[in-house]
A and B are shown apart, each in its own frame.
Chain A
Amino acid sequence: MTVPPPTPAANALRDDARTLFNALPWPKAEDEAWRRMDLSFLEPERFVPGATADLTPGAFMEGEATSERAGEALWLGTKIHARLSPEAEAQGVVFGSLAEALSRCPEKVLPFLGKIVPPETGKFAAWNTAQWESGLFFYVPKGVSVALPFLGGHGAGAVQGRAIFPRTLVVLEEGAQATYIEDYTALPAAGENLSSAVVEIALAANARLHYIHLQRWPAGWRHFLKQNARLDRDAALHTLVVATGGDFGRADFGSDLNAPGASARLYGLVFGDGEQRFTHHTHQNHRAPSTTSDLLFKAALRDNARSVYTGLVKIAPEAQKSNAYQASKNILLSKGARANAIPMLEILADDVKCGHGAAVGSLDDDQRFFLMSRGLSREEAERAIVEGFFEDVLQRIPVPGMPDRLRAILDAKLESRG
């Protein structure tokens, strides 16, 4: 099948982003948003754009099992593997390559592409907007509700010195409902690679989306993510960002609550070990009255792993009767582990409920003692406590089977003590 060439509008978006990218400086250690990070990880210019090798669909989280899913669209590296169930297709769902959608149905794509994470957001957003090749487009028409989840994937084979630019656009029309899981992974290789991703989510009035973002890059990868969701009246977003992979990860995610009744639940789950470095920034932008957001971000850190969390709840003057909460919980499992937490509130309306909490602690000696007195070894006791630490996030995932899959991913990492 041949893909028609991109429209002039799509080309203009790329060109403008390229101009912007060239004009913007790379982040410096003095920049407030980057200053808690070791920027020696960055050196983005020594990576060559584009993957050169593929992985198999099975490398993604059970990527070949199809019966319990409504479709897959998996970027294997240089090519895409896509399947859509006949039912979903009949309902008008579009799921597959973003470039193809941009040519075939630009009217569905262009109103949103580069609008929810504009290239003006910063160097990395501009970079992706100028460079992306492996894009995914997930579209659910008005009033369509699909019960089975969809699986998206961004990946690469065993590559070295490569930069890839995963891009995802999710559009749910009025009253649509869907569950979308997205997995980021590659085959292990000796060299270093970079991924600079953008995820845009547009939810029309009354739309409901569950979105799960899994970052499982192998060692040697560094990952940058800009994710934002735009919610219209009474739309509801439930999103979970999981980060376990790569050497260095910086992910910004959040939502713009643009109309009354919009609500967002944002969860983050980080498990780091070795020398891994994670930085997460979340935003909860309340721009309309009676909007709700709830954020819970949990990080467990072992060995010399480090996590920096910053988050901002912003309540605009017109967003009266809003309700926002933000929590950052960190557990340090080893002497060398470190955590920073900076939860911020900016509140410009008076009739609101807003709060936040943050905590950094170690394994509770009493809990460990109790478990060991019941016959568990020290390692088993620790594992039970860490599993318990993540459990309250896992239990809030309303996607059948998903908590167990995530438990398995975290368990595998817990056991990999080297």
Chain B
Amino acid sequence: MSSKTDLQELGKDYQYGFHDSTENYTFQSGRGLTRDIVERISEMKKEPVWMREFRLASLDIFNKKPMPTWGDTKALGDIQFDNIHYYMKPTDKQGRTWDEVPEGIKKTFDRLGIPEAERKFLAGVTAQYESEVVYHSIRQDLEKLGVLFLGMDDGLKQHPDIVKKYFGTIIPPADNKFAALNSAVWSGGSFIYVPKGVNVPIPLQAYFRINSENMGQFERTLIIADEGSFVHYIEGCTAPTYSSDSLHSAVVELIALPGAKIRYTTIQNWSKNVYNLVTKRAVAHANATVEWIDGNLGSKLTMKYPAVYLVGEHARGEILSVAFSGKDQHQDAGAKIVHAASHTTSVVTSKSISKDGGRASYRGLIKVHKGAEGCKSNVRCDALILDDASRSDTYPTMEVDEENTSVDHEASVSKIGEEQLFYLQSRGLSEAEATLMIVNGFFEPFVKELPMEYAVELNRLIELEMEGSVG
């Protein structure tokens, strides 16, 4: 931290902004979306007929559905669907060991530190580059227990019965325009099945990378945790910095069967020219628990509201959402919990910081269905605004159709307390250091839920974002 000017430069630095040549790609669809492209994707993937039909039906829904009339409608209106490459296949083969991955892609992931992370602590890794999974591995002991961890395309090939049973059941294509788009052109993503009673002790990880300009990445993830099992899945995302925009629109479906527990952690650090419009939804059966840990640092506009449908008695949903919104960013993030069975409980914690003209919005829904008795829900939102150019919004909705319920929501928005700053500065910290310390403390509940390597990385990212914020 030498001088103020240097700090401001640092703050603008996005370290994952580099990109590789796309010359050697196996296949690139042209710009725009047509029936032909959808058929071509399905054909290249040698998919069963039902999936092809599913894609085509979804395309019709996408074409008919209007854009959302809420959220950041202005930014949404700027998306140029005709300018996007909907499918890019960088390589023919999927690597099983790191050495089999094509040199260029490997270099990218090496720069991002992926296999290194795997060697350290992960039980399995999937790496997706553009539309396809390029690398995939899983620890042998877990494989022996029957844990399936595959790219979604391989999942469909090798376990068509399981995929057909669950695919699109939690988020049907007609759910929203972007879910329909994903359903039509999906490629890649993860497929996980954890058998009854199996505990996957260390996290499974996926890494998503967009490389080209005007790319659309539409991965599809399906996780099924059978009765009494446990799995923790982590995903991270980056993209190069281009002058025109890319679109990331994933669909993630989680099914926690009775007594199972799924924890799903995302740290999204897309470059600031990526639209991140993602539908994530989980179903928790009796006594099951689903936790979404959702961190949003990057992207131009994120609209993402992880959801848990509590459909069995004593199911539990927990959502921890953290957003950091800087210059030219709008993080419209939140949470959705539907209590559809008795004695279900939920906790939503949202923390957001806006800075340098950024806008952070919390948008949430707590719904208690008629007949779902004795439900309890607690929502807590905290927002920090670091300067007068920035903005914070809170849009919570509570719909309670059952008398015997307790639903609470509380939110506060403030700037960093002058007393706090004064106290820390009186202990010899600079204003910048004191601010960073307060911001770190603010994010603490999120950071402590992460595996250590991620926590360290996140703290470093926050430090980068914060640099140059106070002079």
Look across to chain B and name the residue whose beta carbon is closest to the beta carbon of A31.
Answer: B69
CB distance from A79 to the nearest CB of B (A): 45
Q: Are B397 and A352 in contact (CB under 8 A)?
A: no
B429 on interface, CB distance cutoff 8 Å? no
20 new A-B contacts, CB < 8 A, other than A341-B409, A350-B415, are A32-B69, A317-B389, A320-B388, A330-B400, A333-B403, A338-B400, A338-B401, A339-B398, A340-B400, A341-B398, A342-B395, A342-B396, A345-B413, A352-B414, A354-B414, A359-B408, A359-B409, A360-B368, A361-B407, A362-B405
Please, how many angstroms separate the alpha-carbon atoms of A358 and B414 in the complex? 18
Bound-state CA distance A342–B403 (Å) is: 18
Name A319-347 residues within 8 Å CB distance of B. Answer: 320, 330, 332-335, 337-347
CB within 8 A of B410: which of A333, A351, A355? Answer: A355
Cβ of A6 within 8 Å of any chain B Cβ, yes or no, is no
Q: Is B91 an interface residue (CB 8 A)?
A: no
User: Which chain A residues border B410 with CB–CB below 8 Å?
Assistant: 355-358
Q: Considering the complex, which residues of chain B in the window 402-420 have a beta carbon less than 8 Å from any beta carbon of chain A? A: 402-415
Task: Given A32-B70, A344-B396, answer yes or no on A356-B408 (Cβ-Cβ < 8 Å).
Answer: no
A344 with B408: in contact, given A337-B403, A354-B414 (CB under 8 Å)? Answer: no
Q: Is B386 an interface residue (CB 8 A)?
A: yes
Instruction: Quote the shortest CB–CB distance from A306 to chain B (angstroms).
Output: 9
Q: B393 within 8 Å of A by Cβ?
A: yes
Counting CB contacts under 8 A, is B399 at the interface? yes
Taking the complex as formed, is A348 at the interface, i.e. its CB lies under 8 A from any CB of chain B? Answer: yes
Asked if A413 lies at the interface with its beta carbon under 8 angstroms from chain B, I say no
A343 CA to B366 CA, complexed, in Å:
13
CA distance A351 to B390 in the complex (A): 11
Within 8 A of A (CB), among B107-159: none
Known contacts A32-B70, A341-B398, A349-B388; decide if A357 and B413 are in contact (CB<8 Å).
Answer: no
Question: When each residue 395-411 of chain A gets 1 if its CB lies under 8 Å from chain B and 0 otherwise, what string results?
Answer: 00000000000000000
The answer to whether B349 has its CB under 8 Å from any CB of chain A is no
Report if B287 contacts A (CB, 8 A).
Answer: no
Which residues in A have their C-beta under 8 angstroms from that of B330? Answer: none
CB-CB under 8 A from A354, the residues of chain B are 412-414
Q: Is the CB of B413 within 8 A of A360?
A: no
Q: Give the shortest distance, in Å, between B216 (CB) and chain A (any CB).
A: 29
- Considering the complex, give the chain B residue whose CB is closest to the CB of A364: B406
9 example contacts (A-B, Cβ-Cβ < 8 A) are as follows A338-B401, A341-B397, A341-B398, A342-B396, A344-B395, A345-B394, A347-B383, A350-B385, A359-B406
Q: Are B415 and A332 in contact (CB under 8 A)?
A: no
Contacting pair B403 A362 (CB below 8 A): yes
The answer to whether A347 and B392 have CB atoms under 8 Å apart is: yes
**Whole-angstrom distance from the CB of A384 to the nearest CB of chain B?**
18
Q: Is A81 an interface residue (CB 8 A)?
A: no
Q: A350–B396 contact, CB under 8 A?
A: no
**Smallest Cβ-Cβ distance to B376: which chain A residue:** A361
Q: What are the residues of chain A within 8 A of B391 when measuring CB–CB?
A: 346-348
- Write the B74-109 contact mask toward A (1 if CB under 8 angstroms, else 0): 000000000000000000000000000000000000
Query: Which residues in window 352-410 of B have CB below 8 A to A?
Result: 368, 383, 385-410
Q: Is A353 an interface residue (CB 8 A)?
A: yes
Which of B388, B389, B390, B413 is within 8 Å of A355, CB to CB? B413
Query: Inside 8 A of A347's CB, which chain B residues have their CB?
Result: 383, 385, 391-393, 413
Q: Which residues of B contact A (CB under 8 A)?
A: 69-70, 368, 383, 385-415
Within 8 A of B (CB), among A152-167: none
Other-chain contact of B398, A333, A340, A355, A362 (Cβ < 8 Å): A340
Q: Do the beta carbons of A352 and B413 come within 8 Å of each other?
A: yes
* A360, B398: Cβ atoms closer than 8 Å: yes
Interface of A, secondary structure class, is strand
A342 touches B398 (CB 8 A): yes
Interface residues as binary, A373-388 with B (CB distance below 8 Å gives 1, 0 otherwise): 0000000000000000
Q: Are B385 and A332 in contact (CB under 8 A)?
A: no
Could you tell me if A350 and B403 are in contact, using CB atoms closer than 8 angstroms? no
The residue from A335, A346, A355 contacting B393, defined by CB atoms under 8 A apart: A346
Partner among A32, A334, A340, A357 whose Cβ is within 8 Å of the Cβ of B399:
A340
A339 / chain B contacts, CB cutoff of 8 Å: 398, 400
- Which residues of B sit under 8 angstroms from A360, Cβ to Cβ? 368, 398, 400, 405-407
B400 contacts A344, C-beta separation under 8 Å:
no
B470 to chain A, nearest CB (A): 12
B415 touches A356 (CB 8 A): no
Cβ–Cβ contact B400 & A343, under 8 A = no
Which parts of A55-69 form the interface with B (CB within 8 Å)?
Answer: none
Q: A410 to chain B: closest CB distance in Å?
A: 20
Nearest CB to that of A346 among chain B residues? B393
Nearest CB of A to B79, in Å: 21
Q: What residues on B are CB-neighbors of A356 within 8 Å?
A: 394, 409-411
Contacting residues, chain B, for A358 (C-beta < 8 A): 396, 398, 407-410
Check A362–B407 contact: CB distance below 8 A.
no
* Contact residues, A280-338 vs B (CB, 8 A): 317, 320, 330, 332-335, 337-338
Cβ distance A304 to chain B, nearest Cβ, rounded Å: 11
Residues of A within 8 A of B388 (CB): 317, 320, 349-351
Alpha-carbon distance A335/B383, docked complex (angstroms): 36
Q: Collect the chain B residues with CB atoms within 8 Å of residue A340's CB.
A: 397-400
CA distance A252 to B407 in the complex (A): 24
A294 to chain B, nearest CB (A): 14
Find out whether the CB atom of A342 lies under 8 angstroms from the CB atom of B397. yes
Chain B residues with CB under 8 A of A352: 385, 413-415
Contacts of B408 in A (CB 8 A): 357-359
Known: A356-B394, A361-B407. A351 touches B400 (CB 8 A): no
List the B residue with the shortest CB-CB distance to A350: B385
Interchain CA distance A340-B413 in the complex, whole Å: 23
For the complex, what is the distance from the CA of A103 to the CA of B396, rounded to whole Å? Answer: 47
Q: Which residues of A contact B393 (CB under 8 A)?
A: 344-347
Q: Which 3 A-B pairs have the closest CB atoms?
A: A345-B394, A350-B385, A355-B412
Shortest distance from the beta carbon of B336 to any chain A beta carbon, whole Å: 14
Alpha-carbon separation in the docked complex, A344 to B410 (Å): 11
**Most chain A Cβ neighbours within 10 Å, of B386, B387, B415:** B415
